[in-house]
Every structure is written in structure tokens, then in C-alpha cells.
């Protein structure tokens, strides 16, 4: 066990944990933020995506010690009132069906729009490929990313 | 009566001809461009946009001594995945990479991309080499 400081959504959390424990476990079971989901556990599905210093990473496959003292943003940290353009677009386009993969999808989409303010269909498909949705909401995800791009351009 | 001689010579000539016939030049530049797309779809989640990886978790591809040391090993690793401890640029990694389901051309393209990006420079990997490695 080790004492680890997690900077989660701009709040410091000091936790006692095995340094090798996945970051996702710390986020969900120790800190108690359950918006980030456990999908496959082997970095293949994208459901557990969070931002580590602004970059999307699979929290199921990163030891918690690696995230110590770095800025971790989860779906709860995107905004406190759904005001983020990506969240707005997700509501406008009614993207989720069951919703399980969607926090990962939104984290990936916000990262994509940060690096590419106006992605094409192809760029969206390429960037979002690692995020699996069993409900098949892909067309709405794509549409919502474009809507989010428009909302961001208006701001 | 002398049918035997031409019958013997013909295959020798054809084999020699095939041997010296040049395969069309492999366009590394185009392969690298296609490879970027394969990379963005399949690799970027762990190895990151600039191939920097995540120290101690995901080995870097950028200026990676391990990557550039052996292109045949890289081909096999993409086809079959990697498991267990490796040392990259002096740092130990002990994780797992899934086998990635790609065509011979995609494997060649993505390797050409990573081997010629992020400060790396390497000779081309052809789809034929990938095909051989699958056997």
C-alpha cells in the first residue's frame, strides 16, 4: 500500500492504495465517482476513458501510481451543469441508448474537438474507432460531435 | 531425342528471369500516409498521438530503441500481440498488447508510419514481409 495523491477534477484526494491498482478502481471504488465505467478491463473498448493531463487514456489499464499528482478529468469534471458544448450536443442529438459507453465516448469526443475543432466524418470515425457501443449509436455520436463543433464555434 | 535438354533449360531460364525481375518499387511515402490512419484507429489510445506512450505503462514508439532494433519482431508483435516484460529506452514495461486484426498491407503501413515518425527513421516494411511472418 502507498499513499497517493490524485488530482481528480481539480480536487485533491489522498488515498491509500496498491500503486499497481488500476486508476479506474481508485476513481470508482475509492473516491466514489462512478460516471466512468468498467467495460473490458484490457483497454479495448474505451468505456473507462478519462483525461490524464488533458490526454484521453484508458483508466482500466493505468496503474494508479502513474496518475499520481497529474490532472485527471472524468466525465464528472467535464462540467458540473451539462454546460459543456459536447454534453449539450449529446442532449440535443439524444445520443445515448443504454448509455454505458457514453462517458468514454464523451471524453474521447472532447479530446478530439480540442485537437480538431471541425472534424470530418472520416476524422471522427478514425478518432472514435477505439470506442465500442453495443447499442450502435455511432451515427448519432458522429452527428453530435459535429453539433458540438458548431456550438463551440458559436461561443 | 533432344527434347530433354530444352525441358531442363526452360525452368532454369524462367527461374533466373523471375529472380532478376525487379518487384515494383515500394512507395514508402504513401505507405506512411496510409499508416497514420491505421495508427489513429488502433494504436493511439495507448501509444499516444506523438508515440510518446506513458512511462512505465505503455512503451514509447518515439525514438524507441526497442522498436527500431528489429522490424520482424514488430511485425510478429502486431500480428500476435505482446505479453510480458520488455525494456524500452532503459525503462521496464510489463504489460500486454492485444493482437491487432489488420491486413498485411495495414501492418506494413502502420509500421512504416511509426518507424518513420516521431523522430524515427527506418527502412520500409512490405506487405510481403508481413505475409511471410504470418506463416
- When pLDDT is averaged across residues A11-32 and rounded to a whole number, the result is 96
Q: In this model, does residue B22 exceed pLDDT 60?
A: no
Q: What is the CATH number of the domain that holds B54?
A: 1.10.760.10
Domain assignment present for A106:
yes
Show which of A33, A48, A75 is a domain's final residue.
Answer: A75
Q: In this model, does residue B30 exceed pLDDT 90?
A: yes
For residue A130, list chain B residues with Cβ-Cβ distance below 8 A: 41-42, 44-45
Q: How many domains does chain B have?
A: 1
Q: In this model, does residue B135 exceed pLDDT 90?
A: no
What is the nearest CA distance from B45 to chain A, expressed in angstroms?
6
Q: In this model, does residue B13 exceed pLDDT 90?
A: no
Q: Tell me, what's the pLDDT at A144?
A: 98
Sign of CA dihedral B108, B111, B117, B123: negative
A43 vs A152: CA distance, rounded Å: 29
A77 touches B at CB < 8 Å: no
Q: In this model, does residue B121 exceed pLDDT 90?
A: yes
- When pLDDT is averaged across residues B36-65 and rounded to a whole number, the result is 92
Domain assignment present for B93:
yes
A116 or B17, higher pLDDT: A116
Domain assignment present for B120:
yes
- When pLDDT is averaged across residues A28-34 and rounded to a whole number, the result is 97
For residue A62, list chain B residues with Cβ-Cβ distance below 8 A: 54, 57
Q: What is the CATH number of the domain that holds A40?
A: 3.10.20.30
CB contact under 8 A, A130 and B48: no
Convert the pLDDT of each residue in A45-67 to its tens digit.
999 999 999 999 999 999 999 99
ipTM of predicted complex: 0.70
Q: Tell me, what's the pLDDT at B95?
A: 85
Convert the pLDDT of each residue in A110-143 to its tens digit.
999 999 999 999 999 988 988 999 999 999 999 9
Domain assignment present for B53:
yes
**DSSP secondary-structure letter at B87?**
E
Show which of A27, A55, A75 is a domain's final residue.
Answer: A75
Q: How many domains does chain A have?
A: 2
Convert the pLDDT of each residue in A73-87 to its tens digit.
999 999 999 999 999
**DSSP secondary-structure letter at A60?**
G
A129 touches B at CB < 8 Å: yes
Q: Tell me, what's the pLDDT at B56?
A: 86
Q: How confident is the model at residue A155 (pLDDT cuts 50, 70, 90)?
A: confident
**Do A68 and A6 lie in a common domain?**
yes
**DSSP secondary-structure letter at B58?**
B
- When pLDDT is averaged across residues B37-41 and rounded to a whole number, the result is 91
For residue B61, the enclosing domain spans 26-134
Domain assignment present for B118:
yes
For residue A37, the enclosing domain spans 2-75
Q: What pTM did the predictor assign?
A: 0.80
**Do A105 and A140 lie in a common domain?**
yes
A57 touches B at CB < 8 Å: yes
B45 vs B41: CA distance, rounded Å: 8
Provide the 10 A C-beta neighbour count for residue B46: 20
Domain assignment present for A80:
no
Of chain A, the percentage scoring pLDDT greater than 90 comes to: 92
**Do A99 and A138 lie in a common domain?**
yes
Domain assignment present for B68:
yes
CB contact under 8 A, B45 and A55: no
Residue A37 in contact with residue A47, Cβ under 8 Å?
yes
Average pLDDT, chain B: 89
Q: What is the CATH number of the domain that holds A119?
A: 1.10.150.120
Residues of B engaging A, defined by a Cβ cutoff of 8 Å: 37, 40-42, 44-46, 48-49, 54-57, 95-96, 98
B33 vs A124: CA distance, rounded Å: 18
Of chain A, the percentage scoring pLDDT greater than 70 comes to: 100
Amino acid at each position: 500500500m502507498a499513499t497517493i495523491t490524485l488530482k481528480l477534477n481539480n480536487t485533491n484526494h489522498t488515498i491509500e492504495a496498491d500503486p499497481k491498482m488500476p486508476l479506474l478502481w481508485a476513481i470508482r471504488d475509492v473516491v466514489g465517482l462512478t460516471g466512468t465505467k468498467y467495460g473490458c478491463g484490457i483497454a479495448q473498448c474505451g468505456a473507462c476513458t478519462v483525461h490524464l493531463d488533458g490526454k484521453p487514456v484508458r483508466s482500466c489499464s493505468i496503474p494508479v501510481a502513474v496518475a499520481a499528482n497529474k490532472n485527471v478529468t472524468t466525465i464528472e469534471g467535464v462540467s458540473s451543469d451539462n454546460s459543456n458544448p459536447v454534453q449539450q450536443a449529446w442532449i440535443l442529438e439524444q445520443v445515448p441508448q443504454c448509455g454505458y459507453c457514453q462517458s468514454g465516448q464523451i471524453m474521447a469526443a472532447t479530446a478530439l474537438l480540442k485537437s480538431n475543432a471541425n472534424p470530418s466524418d472520416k476524422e471522427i470515425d478514425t478518432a472514435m474507432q477505439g470506442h465500442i457501443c453495443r447499442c450502435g449509436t455511432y451515427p448519432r455520436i458522429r452527428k453530435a460531435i459535429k453539433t458540438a463543433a458548431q456550438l463551440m464555434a458559436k461561443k | 531425342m533432344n527434347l530433354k535438354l530444352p525441358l531442363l533449360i526452360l525452368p532454369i531460364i524462367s527461374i533466373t528471369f523471375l529472380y532478376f525481375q525487379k518487384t515494383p518499387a515500394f512507395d514508402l511515402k504513401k505507405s506512411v500516409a496510409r499508416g497514420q490512419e491505421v495508427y489513429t484507429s488502433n494504436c493511439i489510445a495507448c501509444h499516444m498521438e506523438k508515440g510518446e506512450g506513458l512511462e512505465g505503462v505503455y512503451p514509447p514508439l518515439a525514438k524507441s530503441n526497442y522498436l527500431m532494433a528489429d522490424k520482424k519482431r514488430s511485425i510478429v508483435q502486431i500480428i500476435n500481440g505482446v505479453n510480458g516484460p520488455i525494456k524500452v529506452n532503459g525503462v521496464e514495461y510489463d504489460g500486454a498488447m492485444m493482437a491487432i486484426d489488420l491486413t498485411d498491407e495495414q501492418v506494413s503501413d502502420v509500421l512504416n508510419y511509426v518507424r518513420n515518425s516521431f523522430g524515427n527513421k527506418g527502412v520500409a516494411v512490405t506487405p510481403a514481409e508481413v505475409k511471410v511472418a504470418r506463416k
